[in-house]
Amino acid sequence: MPRRPNYKFERLERQRAKAAKKAARLDAKKEKTEKRKAEIAGLVPADDGFAGSPGEPPGPPQEDQPQAGLPHEGPSQEDGDPNR
């Protein structure tokens, strides 16, 4: 037997999801506005734009360094055969 639709419940669920999404957007917008106003007032130092991701602390960019145990590019030095 097919599922019997419950239109009122489904509509209410969509409305709840929409309201939650709007609330989250409004909160993010308020936080951004507060941060911008604090930077303008000089209470919080401005972001220098060097951070690569939100969790990374601001600072100079990190250089890529080869990690131990990973193969390096270039010919093998063990037997001198470049086809290996």
Render pLDDT for 40-70 as a digit per residue (tens, 0 to 9).
888 766 665 555 555 655 566 566 665 665 5
Cβ–Cβ under 8 Å, residues 51 and 58: yes
CA 21 to chain centroid, in Å, comes to 18
pTM of the predicted protein model: 0.45
